[in-house]
Amino acid sequence: MNKKIFVSREIFEEVLDFLATHFEVHSNQADAVLTAEELASALSDKEGAMVALTERIDEALLSRCAHLRAVCNIAVGYNNIDLAACNAHGVMATNTPGVLDDTTADFAWTLILATARRLTEAERYLRDGKWKKWELKQLLGLDVHHATLGIMGMGRIGQAVARRALGFDMEVLYHDQSRVAPEIESACRARFVSREELLGKSDIVSLHVPYSPQTHHLMGAQEISLMKKSAILINTARGGVVDDDALVEALRSGVIAGAGLDVFEREPALHPGFKELANVVLSPHIASASRNTRFKMAMKAAENLVAALTTGQPPDLLNPGVNRG
Ligand code: DGY
């Protein structure tokens, strides 16, 4: 008899078809975000699950899913999954590294350019019928070319953002827990600096760290105050890495010039302060949302699930110490 699996959110038909060649597939194609209770009930008789960052996989859930052996996240970030709880329940957890780096880097650049050149503010001005004449000093922005770009988190996505800066003749600074290999530094023409130096010297600060207790409010009031008054902050990483209250206040009072944000602390809820500010460009967590990349993410999660439940060796296992017996 085929193993039963559950897909917690809507995915592409082709991926469902692929899963159906291996499993008895149950899925939430209606796509309503499930409550913890609904998720526990859907997973109570399943051996595998494909989930998204909208689902919290923790002790409370896993203690109710006696048959569950694998949880495959359709995301590279996995702060929605408690790996210690997965280990305690013998559940393999996987993510989707590698397939979304370039698409996410492209989007970080979309926000860099839109924020620096005040694109959404300019469009609103035009749509609101306010444009009456060309003016020399109209909607003046920040030059991106030859500016200094500071990258916090020099993993695959941070590196992809840095490589794109070469075309803009920028100086690239980066900070991470440790230095990347010298070949990567030279390919990206990036220089390792302290967090303080990065914040103080960059015209654009772009965040590419995973969310964890260590990176919670990595950018709070104190860190934002170290940035230049003319600088902008870009976040395509995770909500919670930035203290949204502190950022709203900094944008309101001119501590920094602007921000481009794809992720939010309480998403999908938006801090009301952002709505009132002209100097912030906002998007609803879509940095990886090209058709090709979202398809690859879903397929990679499905392949991980098939491998987990057939061989016990999923390629993107996050908890290799888990008891797979
Ligand atoms: C990820 O993969 O972590 C993205 O944030 C999902 O869109």
- How confident is the model over 216-232, as pLDDT tens digits? 999 999 999 999 999 99
Domain containing 81 — which CATH number?
3.40.50.720
**Does a structural domain hold residue 187?**
yes
Residues 67 and 155 in one domain: no
| Residue 324, pLDDT score | 76
Q: Cα 140 from chain centroid?
A: 30
Answer yes or no: is 183 within a domain.
Answer: yes
Looking at the fold, whether 41 and 184 belong to one and the same domain comes out as: no
In this structure, is residue 323 part of a structural domain? no
> Does 320 fall in a domain?
no
In order along its 325 residues, the chain shows pLDDT tens digits of 799 999 999 999 999 999 999 999 999 999 999 999 999 999 999 999 999 999 999 999 999 999 999 999 999 999 999 999 999 999 999 999 999 999 999 999 999 999 999 999 999 999 999 999 999 999 999 999 999 999 999 999 999 999 999 999 999 999 999 999 999 999 999 999 999 999 999 999 999 999 999 999 999 999 999 999 999 999 999 999 999 999 999 999 999 999 999 999 999 999 999 999 999 999 999 999 999 999 999 999 999 999 999 999 999 999 999 997 7
Are residues 161 and 72 located together in one domain of the fold? no
The alpha carbon of 77 and the centre of ligand 1 are apart by a number of angstroms equal to 6
What is the CA(76)–ligand 1 centre distance, in A? 5
Q: Is residue 52 domain-shared with residue 127, that is, in the same domain?
A: no
Domain that holds residue 24: 4-99+291-310
Q: Does residue 103's CB lie within 6 angstroms of at least one atom of ligand 1?
A: no
Cα dihedral across residues 155, 7, 70, 312: positive or negative: negative
Please indicate, yes or no, whether residues 248 and 295 belong to a single structural domain of this protein.
no
What pLDDT digit, counting tens, does each position of 242-283 carry?
999 999 999 999 999 999 999 999 999 999 999 999 999 999
User: If you write DSSP's letter for every residue of 89-108 in order, what string do you get?
Assistant: TT-EEE--TTSSHHHHHHHH
The answer to the question of residue 317 being in a domain is no
* Ligand 1 center from residue 268 Cα (angstroms): 14
**What would the two tokens of residue 50 be?**
């494909």
Residue 100 beta carbon below 6 angstroms from any ligand 1 atom: yes
Query: Do residues 62 and 42 lie in contact, with contact meaning Cβ atoms separated by under 8 Å?
Result: no
Does 182 share its domain with 220?
yes
User: What atom of ligand 1 comes closest to residue 289's alpha carbon?
Assistant: 7
Q: Could you tell me if the CB of 209 is within 6 A of ligand 1?
A: no
Pairwise CA distance, residues 72 & 81, whole Å: 10
Looking at the structure, tell me whether residues 110 and 231 fall in a common domain. yes
Q: Do 66 and 154 fall within a single domain?
A: no
Question: Structure tokens of 149?
Answer: 């770009």
Q: Going by CA atoms, what residue is nearest to atom 4 of ligand 1?
A: 75
Same domain, 231 and 305: no
Find the 6 Cα to ligand 1 centroid distance in Å.
20
CA of 229: how far to CAs of 18, 202, 275, in Å?
52, 11, 21
Catalytic residues: 238, 267, 285
Helices (H), 142-290: 156-165, 182-188, 195-201, 221-225, 244-252, 272-276
Atom of ligand 1 nearest to the CA of 73: 2
Most informative mutation of 9, 286, 288, 291 for ligand 1 (most atoms within 8 A of CB): 288
Would 315 be classed as within a structural domain?
A: no
Domain shared by 95 and 165, yes or no: no
User: Is 32 domain-assigned?
Assistant: yes
In a domain, 297, yes or no: yes
Residues 127 and 157 in one domain: yes
Question: Are 185 and 139 within one domain?
Answer: yes
Ligand 1 pocket test, candidate residues 50, 51, 53, most atoms within 8 A of CB: 53
Annotate 65-81 with DSSP letters as a single string: -TT--EEEESSS--TTB
User: What distance in Å separates the CA atoms of residue 80 and residue 23, rounded to the nearest whole number?
Assistant: 25
Looking at the structure of the chain, the number of domains it has is 2
Closest Cα to residue 152, out of 116, 95, 101, 193? Answer: 193
- Strands in the chain per DSSP E: 3-7, 23-27, 48-51, 70-73, 92-94, 148-152, 171-175, 190-192, 204-207, 232-235, 258-261, 280-282
Q: Is 323 exposed, middle or buried (0-12, 13-18, 19+ CB in 10 A)?
A: exposed
How many whole angstroms separate alpha carbon 276 and alpha carbon 260? 14
Quote the CA–CA distance of 127 and 224 in Å, as a whole number.
32
Whether the CB of 239 sits within 6 Å of ligand 1: no
Atom of ligand 1 nearest to the CA of 238: 5
